[in-house]
Structure 1
Amino acid sequence: MMAATVTFRPVEEKDSDFLSEVYASTRLEELQVTGWPQQQIDEFLRMQFEAQDTFYKQQFPDAQYQIVQYESQEAGRLYLDFREDEVRIVDIALLPEYRGKGLGTKLLNRIIDDAEEKQLSVRIHVEKNNPALNLYLRLGFEKTDDKGVYWLMEKPAQQIRCAG
């Protein structure tokens, strides 16, 4: 998968259903154990997606909200907030069929390379049970703060500048 073409395009209003699907794909497994009927799970996930989407737009009004495309197919979402001292990964999520094939690594390395050019740290909140936690650690992110269910993780600017 690494040699394939990965592109980005800005999120548009017409992308709401796709973005909801991406969100649901990251939460479906944990809700399957509730015993709820599928319709209730679907409604709950849609409500949670809408709440998250509203929160992101309020808290990160200047962020870049992008659709990740793999070989021209919609594969996920990437939300980045460029700040004075950091690149904040607000959200990064791929549909299940694109996970575990190197695409996440490729996306994160692009973000890290861009931050390196600007001499910025890269930060992200990661749920402690997120399977991608090992990926962040492998790429040199450090746990810098315990936020309950999340770790604040950082790839410091000085580490980026010294690497290589």
Structure 2
Amino acid sequence: MTPPPPAALPGLVLRPTEAADEGFLQALYASTRADLAALPLPDAAKAALLAQQYRSQTAHYRARFAAADFSLVLLDGAPVGRLIVARGRHELHLIDISLLPALQGRGIGTQLLAGLIAESDASARPIAAHVACSNPARAWYARLGFRSLADDGVYLRLHRPCADAAPAMEAQA
């Protein structure tokens, strides 16, 4: 059962990303890659590696999910994260949700995902997502009704059925 969303956070809005957001988005990406930041490299080499990885990820997402909504998450007008969602005919694909580490655990991500879950239920389209096996957010996804469909050793393929499909999926398990 999906927990109720947290009380609405006033001032939490999404808007399409713009070229002017690139500096923030690159810094956000770097904040999510503690594994790369911990490499025994000079700071300049780490910064170059993180910038290159951000550019590669962005190019991949833009090429593979060209029709996706690339959104900046704003809280009281300040950028705090990003949300990328591809809305297909038969499913919603959560490509990325990232928040600044200092703002994680405050209900922002849960509110964002609650909106996507409501859209999923209203449109009868399940949500697909991938998460790194090492990502501690796996437990968060599970609390929100996502189940693992596949594990390739690096990523888990997650699925959250829409409300109408939930009883049928449970009966099949």
Q: Which runs of 4+ in 1 moved over 2 A?
A: 1-5
Matches within 5 A, 1:65-144: 65-144=70-149
Report the equivalent of 1:159: 166
Cα distance, 1:160 vs structure 2: 8.6
Q: Quickly say closer, same or farther: Cα 1:34–1:94, change in 2 above 3 A.
A: same
Give deviations 1:99-141, integer Å, cap 9, x for gaps: 1111111111111001111011011100011121110001110
Deviates more, 1:104-113 or 1:151-160: 151-160
Structure 2: give runs of 5+ residues left out of the alignment. 1-5
TM-score of the superposed pair, with normalisation by structure 2:
0.88
CA contact (8 A) 1:112 1:160 kept: no
Give deviations 1:49-83, integer Å, cap 9, x for gaps: 00000000100010000000112110000000001
Report the equivalent of 2:54: 49
Cα distance, 1:161 vs structure 2: 9.7
Q: Quickly say closer, same or farther: Cα 1:161–1:13, change in 2 above 3 A.
A: farther
TM-score of the superposed pair, with normalisation by structure 1:
0.92
Structure 1: give runs of 5+ residues left out of the alignment. none
Aligned residues: 161
RMSD: 1.8
Q: Quickly say closer, same or farther: Cα 1:88–1:104, change in 2 above 3 A.
A: same
Q: Quickly say closer, same or farther: Cα 1:147–1:37, change in 2 above 3 A.
A: same
In structure 2, distance between residues paired with 1:57 and 1:33: 28
% same residue: 32
In structure 1, distance between residues paired with 2:59 and 2:111: 28
Which of these residues, 4, 7, 14, is aligned with residue 8 of structure 1?
14
In structure 2, distance between residues paired with 1:48 and 1:84: 30
